[in-house]
Amino acid sequence: MKKVVEAAEGEVFDIELEADILEANRKLAEKNSELLRKYDVRAIDVMGATGSGKTSLIEKMVQTLIGKYRIAAFKGDLTTTIDAERIERHGAEAVPITTGKECHLDANLVGKALERINLNEIDLLFIENVGNLICPAEFPLGSDWRIVVVSVTEGPYMVIKHPFIFMDADVVVINKMDLADAMEVDVKKLEEDVKRVNPKAAVAVTNCRSGDGVKKVIDALRL
Amino acid sequence: MTTQIVENVLREAKEHNAKEVSDVHLVIGELTFLGLEQVRFSYKVITEGTMMENSKLFIEMKDGVVKCGSCGYEGSFNYEDDPMYHVPIPTLLCPKCSGTVDIIGGRECLIKSIKLVVDNGR
């Protein structure tokens, strides 16, 4: 809605624009969400830094859930399709979304990817975001849940350094617990930090290589 | 983001046959990830050579707003001060009752208004 408030002698216009740049993405996200609901597909947005274990988590979750659900995965990456192939090995359909240079997925890209899959043939959709703890939080994609993966190898302060992305998380996965001692990272402290920033988020401590703790993530989503 | 802001303003300016954009007012929410310094810097770079080149950029910050599910508190959210980290850490715990709160505002990136100089040929 726009309205010309003032036109002083036909020379200066004051225009109330009220145009929200982020609103455009939020609207597209809402559209994605409606489309997914229509086909009864539940979607999980997985965010986290590069190398935190997002793909490993999805691989392990797909391994466990593939008997129960028909699964597809969107895999956001700058250029390669390596990770999409990792996920496909476990029997899920994987669609790579290469962003080129963008540091995050947005609802528009996800909407385009949704056109590429047959939503009648899936029940569960993983959307792996680009490795980044900042920008993805700004762009909801239309998923039902958002998971943030943080690993102990990123150091002991990741949660309090990036509090805002954790505020949007339904589940926080603290990964690579087997390396906590070597990294001298106190996992309990990381858990406390998450609870401080976002008391509603479920926390799961995992080793996504071996699969330890992944069941807790699945339980938290009631899958 | 700044590119989108500038594109939007230029489109609007064109529609009104403006010859110059003099003022741009933005509202940016506390919970967005936009850095004011970066926005100002990129604004300057992107508007160069356009009719926005000499425009004044006004940015109003808007606090994050939360609502408590337990006690109904509505207002700015709490920062926990931890002397160990030197920075206050935002928390979704209710400042009133320590229940949990939902974010209901502070995610804006709004072009609130613009001021155009119009050459109407008179």
Q: At which residue do the structure tokens 């994609």 appear?
A: A141
Q: Which domains does chain A have, with CATH numbers?
A: 25-31+39-220 (3.40.50.300)
DSSP notation for chain A: --EEEEEETTTEEEEEEEEEHHHHHHHHHHHHHHHHHHTT-EEEEEEE-TTSSHHHHHHHHHHHHTTTS-EEEEEEESS--HHHHHHHTTT-EEEEEE-TT-SS--HHHHHHHHHHS-GGG-SEEEEEPPSBSSGGGG---S-SEEEEEEEGGG-TTHHHHSHHHHHT-SEEEEE-GGGHHHHT--HHHHHHHHHHH-TTSEEEE-BTTTTBTHHHHHHHTT-
| Proportion of chain A above pLDDT 70, given as a percent | 93
ipTM above threshold 0.95: no
**How close, in Å, is residue B26 to chain A by CA atoms?**
9
Q: How big is the A-B interface in CB pairs under 8 Å?
A: 95
pLDDT digits (tens, 9 = 90+) for A122-166: 999 999 998 888 888 888 999 999 999 999 999 999 998 888 899
Identify which of A5, A16, A199 has the shortest CB distance to residue B93. Answer: A199
Q: What is the pLDDT of residue A19?
A: 83
User: Is the CB of residue A12 less than 8 Å from the CB of residue B118?
Assistant: yes
Average pLDDT, rounded, for chain A: 89
Residue A206 pLDDT exceeds 50: yes
pLDDT digits (tens, 9 = 90+) for A38-57: 999 999 999 999 999 999 99
Q: Does A189 touch chain B (CB under 8 A)?
A: no
**Which of A123-127, B87-91, B92-96 is predicted most confidently?**
A123-127
Do the chains contact at A21 and B109, CB–CB below 8 Å?
A: yes
Residue type (1 letter), A201: A
Bigger pLDDT: A96 vs B44:
B44
Average pLDDT value for residue range B72-77: 89
Q: What is the pTM of this model?
A: 0.83
pLDDT digits (tens, 9 = 90+) for B28-59: 998 888 888 999 999 999 999 999 999 999 99
Q: What share of chain B is helix, strand, coil (3-state, %, to 5)?
A: 20, 40, 40
Q: What is the pLDDT of residue B120?
A: 61
- Grade residue A181 by pLDDT with cuts at 50, 70 and 90: very high
Q: Which numeric CATH code is attached to B1-63+106-122?
A: 3.30.2320.50
- Grade residue B122 by pLDDT with cuts at 50, 70 and 90: very low
Do the chains contact at A164 and B8, CB–CB below 8 Å?
A: no
Identify which of B12, B110, B120 has the shortest CB distance to residue A10. Answer: B120
Q: What is the pLDDT of residue A136?
A: 84
Q: Does A163 touch chain B (CB under 8 A)?
A: yes
Q: What is the pLDDT of residue A186?
A: 94
Residue B86 pLDDT exceeds 80: no
Q: Where are the domains of chain B?
A: 1-63+106-122, 64-105
Q: What is the pLDDT of residue B85?
A: 67
Q: Characterise A88 by phi-psi region: left (phi > 0), alpha (psi -120 to 50), beta (else).
A: alpha
**How close, in Å, is residue A200 to chain B by CA atoms?**
7
**How close, in Å, is residue B23 to chain A by CA atoms?**
9
